[in-house]
């Protein structure tokens, strides 16, 4: 496995970053997926429960509107809205925890990979690294929420500007994603405090603005298309099943099979969303090593010193 190690500490242009990303993804797909499943197990069960609440609420609301008109049965509608409200509340909490966990797992995996210089054989190495940095990760996530709140406010303002506002909003979005992702890597790899890491990440990303925006845009688009392909088959199955149920006039609200199918389908969709976030952080991990080497030439100097020592 050691011979297959991909050198991450290299200065790379945009095309090389994209190529390296897919090489890294293909090489580490099995190992990282095992890590992802191992430490997301309990949260996957929680997502299943959240999916059941949401499906129960929406199906009940659909049945109420279909059978008793627009306003439906008051009691049924209130119960449905209660299920939907509780489902969305729990979804927000669970998904925030999952997002923080997988943000950390993806970054920890890349750092452990770079240090061991091989595909990770023991997933506990990644988890151990994440646990050691839990305090700083928690503080960073709180700062991330504050920053994204500011970004959302900015997005709302830009939404009032036709076309140009939308373009600017997307540029800022990909830049913020790069800044936070690179800063997170700085904090974990260099052992800096969250505030110092954000400052260092700002400097790295600012001096390579379009490279960072371009990498996150292109790879984000490609990852999105890849995940859409994964979702095609289950989406077609659910679509055909729903059409059959509606066409035959079946009682969806009281069908246990329908609820099971919709619940599992929604859960799969949420799990794939969580997994895609890890894949997105790999982009910023490769960006970090490239930008850091471009600025400091640490790996280049080490290789020169090794050559000098051998002579």
Residue of higher predicted confidence among 68 and 85 = 85
Residue 259 has a CB neighbour count (10 Å cut-off) of 17
Retrieve residue 160's tokens. 């009032």
Only one residue has tokens 């997994």, namely: 275
Instruction: Say which range, 9-23, 33-47, 291-305, has the weakest mean pLDDT.
Output: 291-305
Q: How confident is the model at residue 274 (pLDDT cuts 50, 70, 90)?
A: confident
> For residue 241, what pLDDT is reported?
86
220-257: b (≥16 Cβ within 10 Å) or e: beebeeeeeeeeeeeeeebeeeeeebeeeeeebbeeee
**What do you get for the CA distance between the two ends of the chain, in Å?**
29
Q: Would you give the DSSP letter of residue 4?
A: G
Convert the pLDDT of each residue in 104-116 to its tens digit. Answer: 999 999 999 999 9
Find, among 239, 150, 144, 146, the residue nearest to 198 by Cα: 144
pLDDT tens digits for range 217-256:
999 999 989 888 888 888 888 888 888 887 887 777 777 8
What is the C-alpha separation between 254 and 185, in angstroms, rounded?
49
Question: How far is it between the farthest Cα atoms of the chain?
Answer: 87
Long-range (24+ apart) CB contacts under 8 A made by 149-157 are 151/176
Percentage of the chain lying above the pLDDT 90 cut: 53
pLDDT reported for residue 311: 57
Contact between residue 219 and residue 310 where contact means Cβ atoms under 8 Å apart:
no
* Structural element, H or E, at residue 6: none
pLDDT in tens, 157-174: 998 988 898 899 999 999
- Say if residue 75's pLDDT is above 60: no
């Amino acid at each position: 496995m050691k011979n297959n190690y991909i050198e991450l500490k290299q200065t790379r242009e945009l095309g090389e970053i994209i190529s390296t990303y897919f090489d890294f993804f293909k090489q580490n797909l099995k190992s990282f997926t095992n890590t992802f499943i191992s430490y997301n197990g309990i949260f996957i069960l929680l997502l299943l429960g959240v999916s059941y609440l949401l499906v129960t609420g929406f199906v009940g609301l659909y049945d109420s509107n279909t059978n008793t008109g627009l306003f439906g049965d008051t009691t049924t509608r209130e119960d449905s809205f209660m299920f939907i409200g509780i489902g969305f509340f729990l979804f927000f909490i669970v998904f925030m925890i999952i997002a923080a966990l997988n943000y950390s797992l993806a970054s920890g995996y890349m750092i452990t990979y770079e240090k061991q210089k091989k595909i990770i054989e023991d997933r506990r190495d990644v988890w151990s690294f994440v646990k050691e940095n839990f305090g700083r990760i928690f503080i960073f996530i709180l700062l991330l929420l504050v920053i994204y709140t500011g970004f959302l406010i900015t997005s709302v303002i830009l939404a009032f500007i036709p076309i140009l506002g939308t373009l600017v909003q997307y540029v800022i979005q990909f830049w913020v994603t790069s800044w936070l992702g690179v800063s997170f890597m700085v904090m974990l790899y260099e052992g800096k405090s969250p505030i110092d890491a954000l400052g260092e990440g700002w400097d790295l990303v600012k001096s390579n603005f379009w490279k960072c925006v371009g990498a996150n845009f292109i790879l984000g688009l490609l990852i999105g298309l890849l995940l859409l392909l994964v979702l095609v088959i289950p989406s077609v199955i659910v679509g055909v099943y729903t059409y059959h149920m509606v066409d035959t006039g079946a009682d969806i609200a009281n069908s246990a099979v329908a609820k099971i199918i919709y619940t599992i389908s929604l859960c799969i969709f949420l799990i794939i969303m969580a997994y895609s976030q890890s894949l997105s952080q790999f982009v910023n991990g490769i960006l970090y090593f490239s930008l850091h080497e471009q600025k400091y030439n640490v790996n280049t100097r080490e290789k020169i010193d090794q050559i000098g020592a051998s002579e």
